Homo-oligomer: A and B are copies of this chain.
Amino acid sequence: MTLDQIETPAALIDRPRMMRNIERMQAHMDALGVAFRPHVKTSKCVHVARAQRDAGARGITVSTLKEAEQFFAAGFGDILYAVGMVASKLPRALALKQAGCDLKLIVDNLESAQAVAEFGGLHGETFEVWIEIDTDGHRSGVKPDEPRLIDIGRALNGNGARLGGVLTHAGSSYELNTPDALAALAEQERAGCVHAAERLRNAGLPCDVVSVGSTPTALAARHLEGVTEVRAGVYVFFDLVMRNVGVCDTTNLALSVLTTVIGHQADKGWAILDAGWMAMSRDRGTAKQTHDYGYGQPCTFDGSPLEGYTLTGANQEHGILANTGDPDTDIAAHLPVGTRLLILPNHACATGAQYPAYHARSGEDEIEVWNRFYGW
């Protein structure tokens, strides 16, 4: 199969680029002396996760119980479900545990900790639970110094639940764009999470795991003393948001959307593509960054950006490609109907989610179809 034979739009993985991204992150983790647990929410694809595991990853992180079920069925045993557990989801978690999955849950409040412990006790199962720590104020978690951290830890110290560790995610790293700022946030993430672990240990509670990470802080971290593992997701593909954060450049981007030119509005300098927001996702993550890529950066088949052009607009199944300067009124000659292009996405997690499968490309004519899944 060649690129010209794939029906468009399609989600294309550049496999050599992906492998280099995987190796780069794993080498950095090895150098820092910590385990690495990739977040598979980015790909939701067993083929991608296997490549991460083969490179040295230990365990995976998931964002839904469906991911846990699908990856467990594909032979992944050590799974962290990294969204706060609530009582209504415990039956599905129990089924996974009873089937032999080494599933870890997280909580950031006393009600949920008690619900897990009670449910576990009732069903003769001991859930391993980690406490979510808030080290940058961007989302959920207990702040490292909050008194209730110890109360939550104690609630997890019984028959139905066992405190396994602490974890944090400095997601505000996506808003930064200098190496020093990223390194400082990585240190804040590390220090806050280690401090929370020490408080729990000082209270006589077990806290084996100290888990931190986001793609930017993982790559920017200069030391990880006290940390046992790191998590990151989007590094596997990278994307234009990460390019603007400064942790990759466009030649590292391993996911793109294959599209076809279907028409023009020559007076406006528009080429109309069959990749609209359904193909690219509605993610406009670069809108507030230093370089706004619209709905994506058009490239030729060899991955070279068409300089000066972006996807300036998107309807459900139509993308509008235009020059950002003066209108290219000769665009129908430059990019005739039928021309095929690659579009680099703003956000690989969001774009991948629009597709039932990836087309993974090793060389010019070596293309495999890798299924992915969605839903909850």
Q: Which of A331-373 contact B (CB under 8 A)?
A: 336-338, 347, 349-350, 353-357
Closest to A108 in B: B263
- Cross-chain contact of A272 among B85, B139, B317 (Cβ < 8 A): B139
Contact A7 B375 (CB under 8 A): no
Q: How far is the CB of A242 from chain B (nearest CB, A)?
A: 15
- The answer, yes or no, to whether A179 is at the interface (CB within 8 Å) is no
Closest to A339 in B: B86
In the assembled complex, which residues on chain B have CB atoms less than 8 Å from the CB atom of A282? 281-284, 347, 350
- Cross-chain contact of A86 among B112, B337, B356 (Cβ < 8 A): B337
Contact B277 A350 (CB under 8 A): yes
Contact B262 A112 (CB under 8 A): yes
Complex Cα gap A139–B312 (Å): 12
Q: Which of A116-148 contact B (CB under 8 A)?
A: 134, 139-140
| Chain A binding surface SS class | loop
Indicate the member of A7, A262, A354, A357 with the most B CB atoms within 10 Å.
A262
In the assembled complex, which residues on chain B have CB atoms less than 8 Å from the CB atom of A281? 282
Q: Which of A304-350 contact B (CB under 8 A)?
A: 315-318, 320, 336-338, 347, 349-350
- Cross-chain contact of A338 among B88, B134, B337 (Cβ < 8 A): B88
Copies of this chain: 2
Given known A272-B139, A315-B171, contact A262–B83 (CB-CB < 8 A): yes
Q: Which of A25-64 contact B (CB under 8 A)?
A: 41, 63-64
Contact A316 B263 (CB under 8 A): no
- Can you sample 26 A-B contacts with CB below 8 Å? A7-B89, A7-B92, A7-B376, A8-B88, A8-B376, A41-B317, A63-B317, A83-B262, A83-B274, A84-B263, A86-B260, A86-B338, A88-B260, A111-B336, A112-B263, A139-B320, A140-B262, A140-B265, A140-B272, A278-B353, A279-B376, A282-B282, A282-B284, A282-B347, A284-B284, A316-B349
Given known A282-B350, A284-B282, A353-B354, contact A263–B109 (CB-CB < 8 A): yes
Using a CB–CB cutoff of 8 Å, the interface residues on chain A facing chain B are 7-10, 41, 63-64, 83-89, 92, 108-109, 111-112, 134, 139-140, 171, 260-265, 272, 274, 277-279, 281-284, 315-318, 320, 336-338, 347, 349-350, 353-357, 374-376
Q: How far is the CB of A256 from chain B (nearest CB, A)?
A: 16
Contact A374 B354 (CB under 8 A): yes
In the assembled complex, which residues on chain B have CB atoms less than 8 Å from the CB atom of A284? 282, 284
Closest to A268 in B: B137
Closest to A110 in B: B337
Indicate the member of A139, A260, A347 with the most B CB atoms within 10 Å.
A139
Contact B376 A84 (CB under 8 A): no
Complex Cα gap A263–B113 (Å): 11
Complex Cα gap A10–B88 (Å): 13
Contact A317 B83 (CB under 8 A): yes
Q: How far is the CB of A364 from chain B (nearest CB, A)?
A: 18
Closest to A10 in B: B376
- Given known contacts A10-B376, A41-B316, what 14 new A-B pairs fall within 8 Å (CB)? A7-B89, A8-B88, A9-B376, A83-B274, A84-B263, A86-B260, A86-B274, A88-B260, A109-B263, A109-B264, A140-B265, A282-B284, A316-B349, A374-B374
